[in-house]
Structure 1
Amino acid sequence: MKQLFDDKAASYDAWYQTGAGRYVDRVEKEAIWAYLEPRAGMTVLDVGCGTGNYTLELARAGLKATGVDISSGMLAIAKAKAVAEGLAVEFIQADAVKLPFPDNCFDAVISVSALEFLPDLAAALRECYRVVKPGGRLVVGVIGRDSAWGRYYSAKAGRDPGSVFSRARLYTLDELMDAMPGGQIKARAVLFTPPDFDYTNEQLAREVESAAGRAGRTDGGFICAVAFK
């Protein structure tokens, strides 16, 4: 898995420069921030941080952010971006199921589009929850299986055995909720526009998103949950 993501590191950020990538990133971040409720000075661990998309955003907002990832290639890019912006972010190479931190040491832990690439979701979630302080929270977002995006990535994996998605296991909203540790859990689905949507029409995309939310749909391309400790 490490080598697979190392090989993709150089081209990974190009997705965020596309119309779909920019829109998807905004929708997903809105959902994650709503559950995280970030505040300046908060200590947050980003598990599976990749090239630092969320970690750097947290640091820009005045949070004390730490990112961990198994891929040295991804981390090298994340570190370079932090240096270029003058952001004090610590990036550490580590396995998500064996975090190099003591119990109860972060105000919050987040993991976005990472844990679906691990063989045991529940074990990874328990390890993330372990390092959350009492009174803190674990916020997780993954690709929703029962969605246009889930079908898109599954088809991509079928066509290309070298794709990172050939190693992914996707989940439904109910499955994510069942795997979350702790007793206080909230969850929701977002991203109801399909991959082939015309993302130059953001107003229409937002209307689709709002209508799906009002209808209580759970088949979004991005599913996220929060567990309080």
Structure 2
Amino acid sequence: MSTITNEPVLDSLAPSTPGLWSFGHVTVERVDSGPISLDRRGGRLHVRHSLTPADLSERLVAGVTSSIQDAEFGQDEFELTMVGLVRSTVDGALESWTTYYRNSLAELLDGTADFAPIHDKAEELVRGSVLDLGSCFGFLPLRLARAGMDVTATDILPGTMILLDAVAPELGITIDTVICDAGEVPAPDNSADTVTAIHLLEHVDDSVGEAVIAQALRIARQRVVIAVPFEDEATACHGHIRTFDLESLRAVGRQTGVPFEVFEHHGGWLVLDASAA
């Protein structure tokens, strides 16, 4: 049974006033100088910043996280703030996102991005065609497609896949996208050589995680590659709801009943032998 609500749907490509972006109760404004600042009044959040186009990349995630001194700052506000920072820094929707994507990919490829070692390891581990679960902005699928691989990105949020579809041609990259729940993927059995789930499982509970892995093993011909962060506490503003260590990853591997490998590299990795499933 579906429920109809009056909640607005975020369109990251919608027109906005240059230097100013608003959605719901969040407003992001570019000012002449100063660090990222947050002002919460009367149920509204006003974010001010003086970023330049060169500042737009995934590095902002760490910068925004360190700026948060608000216990009520949840995942929705974090994501809206990130969108607003991009959209208020460069005029034009597609232009702003293309800048963000181009800068982020460059930093991931030259190793200066915090997430670069994780993408390096993921690219090393994949084999053949790839279906990526929970792609979010889709940086890993874009990187793999740029390297000549046949890649499909998936995410439950339509907006992220619509954005990826719009930006990929601007970057000269061909990629397929699918809007779906990672636990219910509309892909045939054994339809991709590798299925990846990179920093996805920390966003879902145990039962959903089991469904995601079952889907991955159903779809993958060769292997499933899973990566998770190691955290003392789940980072709520990033949407994390559980934590992992090497032993909990081994437990996940044992539950699948297939041969697996677990190791640590900027977090934890679980590689499942899908050919034995």
TM-score by length of 1: 0.67
- Superposition map of 1:8-157 within 5 A: 10=83, 22-36=112-126, 38=127, 42-119=128-205, 120=207, 121-133=209-221, 136-144=222-230, 150-151=231-232, 154=234, 156-157=235-236
CA RMSD of aligned residues (A): 2.9
In the superposition, relative to structure 1, how do residues 93 and 26 fare at CA in structure 2: closer, same or farther (>3 Å)? same
In the superposition, relative to structure 1, how do residues 104 and 33 fare at CA in structure 2: closer, same or farther (>3 Å)? same
Among 235, 238, 244, the alignment partner of 1:164 is: 238
3-state SS, counterpart of residue 24 of structure 1: coil
3-state SS, counterpart of residue 115 of structure 2: helix
Equivalent-residue separation in structure 2 for 1:190 and 1:47 (angstroms): 20
For structure 1, the 5+ residue unaligned runs are 145-149, 158-162, 192-221
In the superposition, relative to structure 1, how do residues 86 and 77 fare at CA in structure 2: closer, same or farther (>3 Å)? same
Percent identity of paired positions between Structure 1 and Structure 2: 22
Give the partner amino acid of 2:115: D
- Structure 1, 174-183 or 55-64: larger mean CA deviation: 174-183
Kindly indicate whether residue 257 of structure 2 is the aligned counterpart of residue 226 of structure 1.
no
Query: How far does residue 182 in structure 1 lie from its aligned partner after superposition?
Result: 4.5
Q: Is the 8 A contact 2:203 2:241 kept in 1?
A: yes
Larger Rg: 2
Q: Is the 8 A contact 1:138 1:228 kept in 2?
A: yes
TM-score by length of 2: 0.57
Match of 1:183 in 2: 258
For structure 2, the 5+ residue unaligned runs are 1-8, 11-74, 87-99
In the superposition, relative to structure 1, how do residues 76 and 91 fare at CA in structure 2: closer, same or farther (>3 Å)? same
Equivalent-residue separation in structure 2 for 1:30 and 1:117 (angstroms): 22
Q: Is the 8 A contact 2:123 2:144 kept in 1?
A: no
* Offset from partner CA, 1:1-20 (integer Å, 9 cap, x none): x9856746626969959x99
Q: Which has the higher helix share?
A: 1
Equivalent-residue separation in structure 1 for 2:182 and 2:82 (angstroms): 18
Match of 1:209 in 2: none
